[in-house]
Amino acid sequence: MSENKVLKHLMEAFAGESQANRKYAAYAKKAEAEGKKNAAKLFRAASEAEALHAQRHLQVAGKILSTAENLQDAVNGETYEYETMYPEFIKAAQEEGNREAIRTFTYAMEAEKVHAKLYKEALENLDDEEEVFYYLCPVCGNIEKSVPERCSICSTPGSKFIKF
């Protein structure tokens, strides 16, 4: 098998394992909400297992580079999403009249703009030693460097934000 084929397979496996990781995490939340604790625990454990697989595939593929290179890759990915991917998705959702898809794509697009800005900032300040905290909106994925009164994207109260 050629090296290019192996790299292609590693990246396909990474994508599949990453999707399973997030899907099982969502399933765990649903099972927990339904009071199905054992199923929730199994989904959480499987979600973490899939994350381990994905990270190992990415590592073997040679795609985890220096922090500076990883930050630039993140800037590029987030920028592509808000400039190209999500506008196309929103247009298609508008054409089909799918209001929920429009909302979720719009929230993600607006959050990706913030993510790209934060990655650029982190890259520019990579050697700063002052600790920075980030606050995640659990509804739209917006990230702030301080707790806002309300999310600037979806209006979720700042008290709901998760500190990192």
CA–CA separation, 73 vs 119, rounded Å?
9
- Kindly write down the DSSP assignment for every residue of 73-108, as one continuous string: HHHHHHHHIIIIIHHHHHHHHHHHT-HHHHHHHHHH
pLDDT tens readout for residues 133-163: 999 999 999 999 999 999 999 999 999 999 9
List pLDDT tens digits, range 105-121: 999 999 999 999 999 99
Distance CA 21, CA 27 (A): 10
Q: Find out whether 142 and 157 touch, Cβ atoms under 8 Å.
A: no
What domains lie within the chain, and their CATH numbers?
A: 3-60 (1.20.1260.10), 66-129 (1.20.1260.10), 133-164 (2.20.28)
Residue with tokens 């982190």: 122
Whether pTM > 0.85 for this model: the answer is yes
Which residues fall within 8 angstroms of residue 135, CB to CB, at 6 or more apart?
143, 144, 145, 146, 147, 148, 158, 161, 162, 163, 164
| Gap between the Cα atoms of 53 and 125, Å rounded | 31
How does pLDDT run across 33-91, given as a tens digit for each residue?
999 999 999 999 999 999 999 999 999 999 999 999 999 999 999 999 999 999 999 99
Statement: residue 1 has pLDDT above 90: no
Give the number of other Cβ atoms within 10 Å of residue 155's Cβ. Answer: 12
Residues in Cβ contact with 119 at an 8 Å cutoff, skipping those fewer than 6 apart: 71, 74, 75, 78
Taken in order 140, 119, 11, 24, the sign of the CA dihedral is: negative
